[in-house]
Structure 1
Amino acid sequence: MPSEVTHHYFSAGWLRRLRRVREIKQGHFAQLLGVSQGTISKWETGEARPSSKQIERITQFFTNAPAPARDAWLSRLVKYSDRQVHVMTDADHRLLAASQPRIKEWHRDYIDVASLPLSESLPDDIAAAERWLVEHDHPTVWLTPLVVAVEGRKGGPYDIDPGLLLWERFPLSDGTWVRLITNIGEHEIPAESVQFRKNMPG
């Protein structure tokens, strides 16, 4: 059983994002869980919280339910986005898709970057965020988006613009967790998120 299930972690934003990525309407999801649509709505707005058993069922559903069309949809969403965004496997940082603005930022051909493990030669601020995740119980923290402040980099395997990166995790239909990384502005920081800056206290 995935560690996300055993921790019984839940946030309203996490449920709302996963349901939308899976393209499941509130009413249908309510039927699958045996609750009312109003209950789902309250969970997604933070007015109510599901029980530990319900959280386990929700997490198992999103981890195990096959949705290959959703996987293709996520890839298309990233590739044709007008924002700086890419998606990679969470375990080994293998690139799955990137938008044209992201490729332009990197100053590399997509095929060149796709062949690189993106976790190699990380700048200090991103490497510090990766270490922080490991030190703070990665699976549980990851169900909440992480906002990482980066100083940027010119040169190296690929360029990185300074600013804020939103890191989010989603499960693919085969159970593989992927990380969606999007450049955002200060006004776009989700209310339900963890913010990381390199020199913040542990």
Structure 2
Amino acid sequence: MVFTGRMLKRLRLLSGMKQSHVAELLQVTQATISRWEAGLLTPSENQTAALECLFEKVPPSADAALRRLVEMSTAKVHLICDYSHRLLAASPSRRAEWRRELLGLPMLRYASDEIQEAERSLTDLGWYDGQTASLLVDTGPNRRDDVPIVAGRVLWERIPLADGAMGRLVTTLT
């Protein structure tokens, strides 16, 4: 997973953690966490792995009505937490594509190169500032057997969840 400064700060805040606590857990200084969040430094590969483990504990949204709508949809659609990329819900047709259970797991690790590039562009597009509420993403295959992504187009829609977090509804269009 690529942690942008903004993403790291949001995950930390959603977890209710102070920079000093994250620093202690990762055995770095609080100033290092601050620099990561400001985008002045980038975590190493080992530090990124530790951050992934740390933030796997961010609880999924409790928005039951939205989850039910997604799970009853006939479209290929899934809902993730916009901050942690954890899967909150998926339609039966989307789940049928996957060869493993993913509920509660971060999905970004399965992303194709095009999805990762689109993810990196979100800050510049004003996604997190509310300037952009939806985005069309053309994607290529991710070449994975367990959670395959084929070439096509998806629609990302940013929506507020009942617990105050933001979600991303991902719908396959082609």
Do both proteins adopt the same fold according to a TM-score greater than 0.5, normalized to the shorter chain?
yes
Shorter-chain TM range is 0.5 to 0.7
Structure 1 residue 142: Cα displacement: 5.8
Distance 2:73 2:83 in 1: 24
What is the count of residue pairs matched by the alignment? Answer: 113
Distance 1:132 1:141, change over 3 A: farther
Distance 1:174 1:115 in 2: 16
1:134 aligns with 2:123: yes
Query: So what's the TM-score if we normalise by structure 1?
Result: 0.51
Distance 1:141 1:127, change over 3 A: farther
1:124 aligns with 2:116: no
Distance 1:164 1:142, change over 3 A: farther
Of 159, 166, 175, which aligns to 2:155?
Answer: 166
Which AA in structure 1 matches 2:165?
T
Match of 1:84 in 2: 76
Kindly indicate which of the two structures has a greater share of residues assigned to helix.
1
Structure 2 gap ranges (5+):
1-61
Structure 1 residue 161: Cα displacement: 2.4
1:44-91 deviation digits (Å, cap 9, x = unpaired)? xxxxxxxxxxxxxxxxxxxxxxxx7xx322111111111110001000
1:86 match: secondary structure: strand
Structure 1 residue 153: Cα displacement: 2.8
Distance 1:176 1:132 in 2: 20
Structure 1 gap ranges (5+):
1-67, 186-202
Rg (Cα) greater in structure? 1
CA RMSD of aligned residues (A): 2.0
| More displaced stretch, 132-141 vs 118-127 | 132-141
Mapping of residues 59-138 of structure 1, within 5 Å:
71-106=63-98, 108-109=99-100, 111=101, 113-138=102-127
Query: So what's the TM-score if we normalise by structure 2?
Result: 0.58
Is the Cα contact below 8 Å between 1:105 and 1:161 reproduced in 2? no
Is the Cα contact below 8 Å between 2:113 and 2:142 reproduced in 1? no
Which AA in structure 2 matches 1:131?
R
- Structure of higher RCO (CA pairs closer than 8 Å, 6+ residues apart): 1
Of 132, 143, 151, which aligns to 1:154?
Answer: 143
Structure 1 residue 117: Cα displacement: 1.4
